[in-house]
Structure 1
Amino acid sequence: MTGRLTQRQLECLRLSATMTDKDIGRHLGISHHTVSLHIREALRRLEVSSRKAALRRLACEPLYGLDAMAVAPTPALDRPAPGDPADDARGLIETPTAAWFLPPPPRRGFRLGLVLVFAAVAALITVGIVSVVSGAVGALASHAPPAANLTQD
């Protein structure tokens, strides 16, 4: 390892295991571009090419030990767990740092309905194209010269 990581680089790298750069930026109150710069510099100093490899390196380093992987505990009473039926009904989970929307619960038959609608639209478009082409051919046929007599005497 070429150098020690700053506290901010270590924090950004640790949070990158479970959060996106934008989420880390919101959590720390900095720009996601700054988060990206901190992580890139940490990767350079650790002499690795990916965030996953950097986290593995940190876990093995006696200088950082398991502290690099530890996440600050948050009281379970402050916020409900994701997937709680009460939160799914609202669709919103509030946390101390941010709020995010959960995807709606899957609806039965939605995918099949979507495929059927797509197939119906495709069939209508195909019928329309065929009718336009046949109309154009019929219009051209009415203006065509009479067929020449190709039989020989």
Structure 2
Amino acid sequence: MAQRLTDRQLECLRLSATMTDKDIGRHLGISHHTVSLHVREAMRRLQVPSRKAALRLIASDPLYGPDAIAPRAGPVPVQFAPGDPVDDMEAMIGASARTWPLPPPPRRSVRLGLILLFAAVAALITVGIVNVVFGAVGTLAAHAPPNAILTPD
């Protein structure tokens, strides 16, 4: 082995056997980008092209011991990294209760902006339709015979 891994690199690499970078980040309380950096640096130090090769190498190295790949024990406790948007339902029911990973809902400002944009487009379309109808009625009224339109005297 070229260089020794730091404890954090080793921990991230071991957890990557059974978890995604986002799950590892939540578990350790760090960003998933930081997890990715730790794993890439570990792969660079071990001089291997993939995570799988890195895990195989540390599993066979007596320096890291036979427990190089930690078994997954039950659901991962939900810990949100600083700055991550948190869905209220996910916090209430826990991340393990959902079966499909969903993207976080849009922020309120984005939702409000989309609603206002939709309302403005709908208003413009409505005004356009009203103008077309009034224009058509006015054109037809100009070409109508004089006794076709009854007006109160």
Higher relative contact order (CA 8 A, sep 6+): 2
TM-score (norm 2): 0.49
